[in-house]
Amino acid sequence: MTSQSELFRTPGPSLPDGARLRTVATVHGLITFTLARSRRRSIGFVIGSEGLRVTAPYWVSLKQIDEAVLEKAEWIQKKLDFWRQRNETADQAQQSWLACTQLPYLGTTISIDIDAGARQARFDGDHFAPQVQDTLWLALPAEASAAQRRAAAAHWLQTQAQQYFDLRIHVLANNAGLQFQAWRLSRARARWGSCNSSGSIRLNWRLIHFTPDIIDYVIAHELAHLKQMNHSERFWQQVGMILPGYEAAMQKLKTTDMSALPALQA
């Protein structure tokens, strides 16, 4: 029977100078790793998309290295399983981008396809009121790679985010009698928005995946910081003044993991 670690991507044939492949049998299955030597004082473990890399001092014996791997076998196998699943998900995403795929846009799932004869991307629905049957046509050759398709889709989404967020931030600010210095799109990996003391606001472009109520909540949240640079009771009162009934959208956003969003190039 093939073990899970054997199914995991092993290091490629091009190894770093002086490195070698080594396999240790553990109760959790075979663990194959790249072994490299260095002047470090202890044995180091690094696990990533290519598997396990062990770096050990020159004076440490192979037996000691194997024993160190055995000691951490359960932890190593869990990490390898995590990266194996992540690699499989990435491979599936790569394949889906080579055919028709779908994306969440303003809370609706739209289709993505190719129009090899077009000069620019086009959307066959209402840009700010999409329906499930709508399609985004990317102006790419039929043989375009998955990376090209992802990049083209991301560019279109960012363009829509720029236009839609600009509309909504001005509407909400004007209704609340607030003035901000400037705003721009953000590509942050862990924040939906920000506002600094000078009144400059940043909004994560990936909010364009979500429903309008969530987008409005994030905008209202950042606008409220123009009055309260904190999260005090007064701050939340300010959010409520800008966007009454914001609580439902806030709760929905709290349950969203950024890593669950489509893998697009930003």
Looking at residue 65, what is its pLDDT? 93
Predicted structure pTM score: 0.65
Looking at residue 88, what is its pLDDT? 63
Looking at residue 11, what is its pLDDT? 41
Structure tokens at 48: 């990533």
What is the Cα–Cα distance from 216 to 207, expressed in whole angstroms? 10
Is the pLDDT at 28 greater than 60? The verdict is yes
User: What single string gives the DSSP state of each residue in 200-249?
Assistant: EEEEEGGGGGS-HHHHHHHHHHHHHTTT-SS-SHHHHHHHHHHSTTTHHH
Is the pLDDT at 263 greater than 80? The verdict is no
Encode pLDDT of 94-151 as tens digits.
555 556 688 899 999 999 989 998 999 999 999 999 999 899 999 999 888 888 888 9
Encode pLDDT of 149-192 as tens digits.
889 999 999 999 999 999 999 999 999 999 999 999 998 877 89
Looking at residue 9, what is its pLDDT? 39
Q: What is the mean pLDDT of the chain?
A: 86
| Confidence band, pLDDT 50/70/90 cuts, at residue 239 | very high
Mean pLDDT value of segment 11-35: 77
Q: b/e map of 82-119 (b: 16 or more CB within 10 Å)?
A: ebbeebeeeeeeeebbeeebebbbbebebebebbeeee
Q: Among residues of the chain, what percentage have pLDDT more than 70?
A: 86
Looking at residue 131, what is its pLDDT? 94
Q: Domain residues of the chain, as ranges?
A: 4-95, 101-260
For 122, other C-beta atoms within 10 Å of its C-beta total 13
The answer to whether the beta carbons of residues 130 and 110 sit under 8 Å apart is: yes
What is the Cα–Cα distance from 152 to 154, expressed in whole angstroms? 5
Looking at residue 48, what is its pLDDT? 81
**Does 101-260 carry CATH code 3.10.20.30?**
no
Looking at residue 10, what is its pLDDT? 39
Looking at residue 39, what is its pLDDT? 86
Encode pLDDT of 39-95 as tens digits.
888 999 988 878 889 999 999 999 999 999 999 999 998 888 888 877 665 555 555
Looking at residue 2, what is its pLDDT? 41
